Amino acid sequence: MTGAEDPFWTDLIAAGVGMLAAVALSLGLLVLLVSLPYVGVRALAVLWRREWIPLVYNLRSLGRRRLMTLTTALVLAVVVFVLTAVLMLALGIEHTLASTGNPRNVKLIDENALSEWTSWVDSEQLPALGTLPGLARDPAGNPLLSPEMVVLIWAPRQGAVDADDGANLSVRGVQPVAFEVHPTRGLRGARFQPGTNQIVIGKALVGRFAGAELGGSMSFADRDWRVVGVLDHGGTAHDSEIWGDVEVMAPTFRRGYSTVTLTLDERADVVAVSAALGQNPDLSRLLAKREVEYWRALSENYVGFVRLLGSVVTVIFSFGAILGALNTMYAQVAARTREIGTLRAIGFKPRAVLTSLLAESVLLALAAGSVGVLAASLLGRMTFQLTTVQTLSEITYGFHLSPVLALGCLGFAGLMGYAGGLLPAWRASRLPIVEAVRAN
Amino acid sequence: MTPSRPLGRLVLRLALRNRGRTLISVLGVGVTLLAFLVLRTLVTSWYTVNTDISKSDQLEMRHKISISFVLWRRMADKVRSIPGVQQVSAMLWFSGYYKDEKTRFGQLAVEEPYFEIFPEYLAPPEQMAAYFEDMSGALVGEELANKYGWKLGDRITLTGTIYQGDWPLNLRAIYRGESKSTDRARLFLHYKHVAPEGEHSHRLMVKADPTAAKKIDALFANTDTPTKTESVLSVERSWASWSSAVISAINIAAALILLILILVLGNAMAMAARESLREYATLRAIGYRSRHILALVLAEGFFVAGLGIVLALAVAPATLRAFAKLMEEQLGGTWQLYLDGGTVTLAVGTALLASLIACSVPAWRSSRLRVVEALREIA
């Protein structure tokens, strides 16, 4: 299928397949949509008149064909597991990056810069920044304004055998005020002493890179840096960073400040900061972004990719699962023809049979779905490392499960059960009694 | 007794007995295998790590301290004087977009020697000559040209981000790429055009004996721009390894698909075998051996699986194309997703193995049935 070949035939096949798939999908959706009021009215009638078939009948039936029930449930559980896990991964990336920002913080960044490490802020601009409106202040009355220098460095992994085994990490040169602007959750060891080659590292780096431990020594920019503290930022992107004194680091890297992060007091907002920047010709080159937005934007493309991939795969997966459920329920109906006939003969209405079998399929799917979601929730303790084109540095992420996500995935499981059970249940409800009781 | 010939017809008859279920099973196998193909293709094409021998002489120089620091263009002259070095070209990432902020693709500002270092990006000689002639010329990959309907001579206006403003370019050449793994969605423009007075270079690309890398780095070790030189291949490998978390997630999903395939097919075959008990018993009663029944069930399973495999392979190229289009619309960039022989072999092989596993239990069970009891039970 290279461009060298005539793409006519593949295009023709693609168009044909696409149309077939579209027709099949829309037919399926149409059947599902049309069936909802049909089934809904009957289910309500069954509930209203208290003429349902006892649920224990369904449970016993499922129990009688244990192997078949289990394989179907396993298929459904695996599908739900994959869906949940992929969405947790996407949400984890988004959550890690979005929670890196403090909602009250604003990041000032060069308007041409795509990211912190390509941004430049002149030190002559700093005094003027101190007069911006709405700055929060520490008890001593100093503004919470943190000029920072961000560079990427190459760090070899712990126990690396060859020189290429490593990753890029973010190094953030800061002043002591940074610890107020980016409140941390905890600190093992001590903060760096200004004017020295001491550094503090995020907890996600510990043990993963050469020298990255309390009392260790990391080497980058042709110098050795002593690790005197390990910071806990609560699972954010800062946990994958190295912090040191900007006055020492700036000359070492021959680089000035990259960005400035401000903390605003409760009443101020980013719009006022932007307006103030625009009025001062010396500062108009700076762009004020909410810190949360800056980090979230870094996650956007990658998260979009993972989500899209996850949904496409899940749609294909769920086709397989629905077909499996369909097969199982058809077999259940076929094997229980005589039972269903008997139920009808002793007075249960067709709608009771329909509701009962559909409930059986949906409940089976929900049970399997719960197993899948539960299994995926175990991933919540796991972390993974990624270097994306947006961050360029390696950041440690965690899987993240939200209640909405868990409920959504369970709902999806229920939907698969419904789709798989609909046609067999409908057929069962329309079996002629006389023939059904005679079947073997 | 050699019932080999009628066995084939029997399989067909048995498979078509419950047509609804056979259809569902074939679709189930086909759809799950399709997902497997999509995922594996995504993994193989993620970072196309080209292991061609020709690539080992392609080196990339960057700043040793940080990947975001720039090099000096004048360093190229010093590098050229090292024995074993044949060509050096400066390179800038232009990082612009076309019409919409979302439509981004690889845009490299390079010098003439670049195309001697990377011969895979070569267009017909007269087109290359036209490109070298025109300072605001552009060389693009055929994939990109097809996507936006560009013809030679067209004017393409890029909007710069690092290099601000609108950049009207003339399309002078279209390259096809040596192999499928060549990125055919790049746009090249002249370094001199982007930075007429330019002294910087994001990277320096070098064609040299691989052993020259150490000599290059030694040359700049004690300057204010220490360098790190490695092969383009290992740079690509590094990027692939940094995404290994997502790649292994995709691989796990692909493995789980096979599990689903086994379960769906196994379930269907168990049902089919159960329904055919009377037939099996009858066959046994008229002289077929248990191994024939075993073969019969297995053959039916492989018949269903085979149809599913054929279905998946027939639909896969179109699906990949649609998937790539969806990715491009949603995320921008250019996605080259093509089925390759290795992926097909892997998919067919694992699908057959999975079918064998799926059918073995029902086949074994059916072959061991007690004829008398089975006949009595059913009667």
> What one-character-per-residue DSSP string does B82-142 give?
STTEEEEEEEEE---EESSTT---EEEEE-TTHHHH-GGGPPPHHHHHHHHH-TTEEEEEH
Classify residue A150: in a domain, yes or no. yes
Does residue A407 contact residue A413 with C-beta atoms inside 8 Å?
no
Listed residue (B168, B189, B172) closest to B98, CA to CA: B168
**Residue in A with minimal Cα distance to B26:** A323
Contact flag B331-A114 (C-beta cutoff 8 Å): no
Indicate the residue among A259, A284, A309 that finishes a domain.
A284
Structure confidence at residue A3 (pLDDT): 41
CA distance A280 to A284: 6
Q: Within an 8 Å CB–CB cutoff, is residue A82 touching chain B?
A: yes
Give pLDDT tens digits for A381-428. 899 998 887 788 999 999 999 999 999 999 999 998 998 899 899 988
Classify residue A139: in a domain, yes or no. yes
Q: Are residues A226 and A90 in the same domain?
A: no
Classify residue A257: in a domain, yes or no. yes
Sequence letter at residue A257 = Y
In degrees and rounded to multiples of 5, residue A319 shows phi and psi of -55, -50
Min Cα separation A133/chain B (Å): 30
CA distance B283 to B285: 5
Q: Are residues A184 and A277 in the same domain?
A: yes
Indicate the residue among A284, A314, A343 that finishes a domain.
A284
Burial class (CB in 10 A: 0-12, 13-18, 19+), B147: middle
Q: Are residues A179 and A279 in the same domain?
A: yes
Q: Are residues A215 and A66 in the same domain?
A: no
Q: Are residues A311 and A268 in the same domain?
A: no
CA distance B212 to B214: 6
**pTM for this prediction:** 0.84
Structure confidence at residue B1 (pLDDT): 47
Token pair recorded at residue A207:
């043990």
CA distance A91 to A256: 35
Classify residue A292: in a domain, yes or no. no
DSSP A137: B
Please identify among residues 89-148 of chain A the ones whose CB lies closer than 8 Å to any CB of chain B: 89, 112, 114, 117-118
Token pair recorded at residue A288:
């004020």
Q: Are residues A233 and A368 in the same domain?
A: no
Using 50, 70 and 90 to split pLDDT, how confident is the model at B205? very high
Using an 8 Å CB-CB cutoff, list chain B residues near A301. Answer: 331-332
Q: Are residues A323 and A375 in the same domain?
A: yes
B18 or B348, higher pLDDT:
B348
Using 50, 70 and 90 to split pLDDT, how confident is the model at B204? very high
Mean pLDDT rounded to a whole number for chain B: 87
Q: Are residues A185 and A49 in the same domain?
A: no
Q: Are residues A279 and A303 in the same domain?
A: no
Q: Are residues A238 and A266 in the same domain?
A: yes
Answer yes or no: is pLDDT of B52 > 70.
no
The dihedral of CA B133, B134, B137, B143: what is its sign?
A: negative
Contact flag B64-A154 (C-beta cutoff 8 Å): yes
CA distance A292 to B23: 51
Find the length of chain A.
440
CA distance B372 to A132: 95
Token pair recorded at residue A111:
């308007």
Domain count across chain A:
2
Classify residue A18: in a domain, yes or no. no
Facing B245 at nearest CB: one of A117, A221, A386: A386
Using 50, 70 and 90 to split pLDDT, how confident is the model at B51? low
Structure confidence at residue A440 (pLDDT): 60
Structural domain boundaries of chain B? 4-48+244-378, 70-224
In degrees and rounded to multiples of 5, residue B108 shows phi and psi of -120, 130
Q: Are residues A275 and A341 in the same domain?
A: no
| Alpha-carbon separation of residue B116 from A6, A52, A425, B74, B138 (angstroms) | 30, 79, 68, 19, 17
Give pLDDT tens digits for B143-202. 889 889 999 999 999 998 888 889 999 999 999 877 766 788 899 999 999 998 888 999
Structure confidence at residue A418 (pLDDT): 92
Give pLDDT tens digits for B128-142. 999 999 999 999 998
Indicate the residue among A226, A255, A284 that finishes a domain.
A284
**Residue in A with minimal Cα distance to B162:** A112
Min Cα separation A222/chain B (Å): 8
DSSP A157: B
Structure confidence at residue B5 (pLDDT): 55
Q: Which residue range is the domain that position A305 belongs to?
A: 35-98+299-438
Contact flag B267-A304 (C-beta cutoff 8 Å): no
| Residue in the structure block whose two tokens are 């040359």 | B219
Q: Are residues A66 and A183 in the same domain?
A: no
Burial class (CB in 10 A: 0-12, 13-18, 19+), A15: exposed
Classify residue A91: in a domain, yes or no. yes
Q: Where are the beta strands (DSSP E) in A267-322?
A: 286-290
Using an 8 Å CB-CB cutoff, list chain B residues near A254. Answer: 224
Structure confidence at residue B54 (pLDDT): 55
Provide the 10 A C-beta neighbour count for residue A230.
20
Burial class (CB in 10 A: 0-12, 13-18, 19+), A432: exposed
Does residue A317 contact residue B32 with C-beta atoms inside 8 Å?
yes
Kindly give the parts of chain A with pLDDT less than 70.
1-11, 14, 440
Query: DSSP secondary structure string, B292-345?
Result: HHHHHHHHHHHHHHHHHHHHHHHHHHHHHHHHHHHHHHHH-S-------HHHHH
